[in-house]
Amino acid sequence: MKKVSRILIELAQIHRFVMQFFRELVLPPYEVKEIIRQCYEVGWKSLPLISLTGFITGLVFTNQSRPSLAEFGATSWLPALISIAIIRALAPLVTALIASGKVGSQIGAELGSMKVTEQIDAMEVSGTNPFKFLVVSRVVATTITIPILSCYTACVGLLGAFLSVNQFEATSFTVYVNQVFEAVSYLDVFSLVLKAVVFGFTIGIVGCYQGYNSSKGTEGVGKAANWAVVMSMFLIFVEEILIVQIIQAMRA
C-alpha cells in the first residue's frame, strides 16, 4: 500500500513538473541566449559521437542484411531496404539512445549537483527563475537538436551504407541516391521527425526532472544521472512502439 501511494505521489510530481514546463515555456521572459547555448552543448558537442555511431550503424546494418538478400538474389534491393530501416527506425532510435546516455546523464548530474550544492537556491534568491533558466532551456534545446541530429544520423548512416554497397555491388552514388529516395515517402520522413521530437523532449524532461528533484548528497547526484539514462531509454522504447502504431495507422 505504501509503495502504491509512493508511486502515485511520484506520478503527481512528474505531472506537475511537466505542466510547469509548458507554463514557463509560454510565459515571458524567454531565455533565448541560454537555449542557444544549450543547443550548442547538446547538439554540437554530441556530433562526433553521433557521426561515428551513425556511420557504423549504416555500414554494419548493410553488411548484416546482405547475406539474407543474397539468398534470393535480391542484393539490388539493399539501398531501398537500408533507407527504409535507417529513416523509419534506426536514425531516431540510435540518436536518442546515444543522446540519452550522453546528454541525459549530463543534465541529470549537472542539475543534481547544482541542487545539492544549493546553486539552484542561490539562483532563486538572486531574482532568477531557476526552472525557466535551467529546465526550460535544456528541454527546448534537446527537443530542437535531437531531430536535427537524427536527420544528420540518417545522412551519415546512409553514407556508411553506401560505402558497403559501392564496394560489394559496385553501385554508383547517383544510382544509390535514386534508389534510396524512391523507397522513402514523406510519411517516413515525418515519422523520423516526430519520433525525434518526442525522444528529444523525453531525454530533456527526464534528465531535468531527475536532477532538479535529486535528494541531498553526492549519492543523489549519481542516482539522478543513472535514473535519467535508465528512465529515458525505457520511455524511448515505449514511445517507439506507440509512434510506430500511429504511423502504421496513418499509412493504412
Partner 1 sequence: MIKAHGHIDYETSVIDVRNVSKSFGKLDVLRGVDLQLFKGENLVVLGRSGTGKSVLIKLISGLLRPDTGTIEVLGEQVNELDEKALQLLRLKIGFSFQNSALYDSMTVRENLEFPLVRNKRHLTRGEINHEVEDVLDSVGLLPAINQMPSELSGGQRKRIGIARTLILRPEIMLYDEPTAGLDPITCIEINGLINEVQEKYKTSSIIITHDLACAKSVGDRIVMLLDGRFEREGSFDAIFDTDDERVKPFYDYNFIK
Q: Which residues make up the interface to partner 1 (CB under 8 A)?
A: 113-114, 117-119, 121-129
Closer to partner 1 by CB, 51 or 128: give it. 128
Residue (123 or 148) nearer to partner 1, CB = 123
Q: How far is CA 184 from CA 2, 30, 83, 227, in A?
A: 51, 38, 7, 36
CB of 195 to partner 1, least distance (A): 31
Which residues lie below 8 Å from residue 104, measured CB to CB, with a gap of 6+?
203, 206, 207, 228, 229, 232
Least separation, in Å, of the C-beta of 114 and partner 1? 8
Closest CA to 192 of 243, 133, 127, 138: 243
Closer Cβ to partner 1, 5 or 126, answer by number: 126
Nearer to partner 1, 24 or 169 (CB): 24
The continuous run of DSSP H or E covering 179 comes out as helix 173-183
Q: How far is the CB of 213 from partner 1 (least distance, A)?
A: 15
Task: Name which of 123 and 194 has its Cβ closer to partner 1.
Answer: 123
Cell of 50: 553521433
Q: How far is the CB of 44 from partner 1 (least distance, A)?
A: 17
Closest approach of Cβ 126 to partner 1, in Å?
A: 4
